Amino acid sequence: MNARLRRLYADYQQLRDDFTGHPYIAVRPLQGNPPEAYEVVYRVRGLALDDRTNRPVVRTDHRVKIYLQRDYPREKPKCVLTTPIFHPNFGSYICIDDYWAAGETLSDVIIQIGQMIQYQNYNPKSPLNPVAARWAVQNEHVLPVGNAELYQPEVDIDFLSESRTQRKSQDDIEIELM
């Protein structure tokens, strides 16, 4: 198996581990075995332009398609938003980074896009949408529009001591979130 296929399999496994049951992000493979394209659904606050007033309004459903091109991971994934958005770094594609490193994970890209949708992360100095960039600079006081924490906390299982275990049933094992 070549290096690209190993990376695609590793990405797929990591995406399943990171996003199964995620409260704000759902990832679905679209094509390939291992997948070379994904649809990502974000349920976070972002902005879109209202058709009637031409003003930004909150939108909470965003869909992105991610394509892992032939030269991936040397070449960054192609990311395209398929729902309306008003953001400086979204246009016919999503400007995920000016500099891409093959060591970046697909999970990190998905988190980064979710942070961008919420205006937790944006760059008005290198815009794909200059109108949104100007608006963001003039309205910094209302940003970010969303505050969802997209990185899931690690789960730490505290196995009880033998004496306490004897007093508790197996169903009562405590799980602490870090």
pTM: 0.84
What does the pLDDT read at residue 90?
96
Closest to 143 in 3D by CA, of 119, 115, 113, 117: 119
Please enumerate in sequence order all residues whose Cβ is within 8 A of that of 148, keeping only pairs 6 or more positions apart, or say none: 23, 24, 44, 45, 114, 118
3-state secondary structure (DSSP) of residue 38: strand
Q: Which alpha helices (DSSP H) does 78-161 contain, by range?
A: 106-117, 130-138
Burial of 104 (0-12, 13-18, 19+ CB in 10 A): middle
Using the CB atoms, write b or e for 121-149: b if 16+ within 10 Å. ebebeebbbeebbebbeeeeeeebbbebe
What does the pLDDT read at residue 160?
52
Element (H, E) at 160: none
What is the block-wise mean pLDDT of the chain (178 residues), using blocks of 10 residues? 92 97 97 96 97 95 96 94 97 84 91 97 94 97 97 62 42 36
Domains of the chain: 3-153 (3.10.110.10)
| The residue count for the chain | 178
Beta bridge partners of 40: 27, 64
What does the pLDDT read at residue 103?
86
Closest to 79 in 3D by CA, of 58, 108, 57, 103: 108
Please state, in angstroms and rounded to a whole number, the distance separating the CA atoms of residues 117 and 39: 15
What does the pLDDT read at residue 96?
82
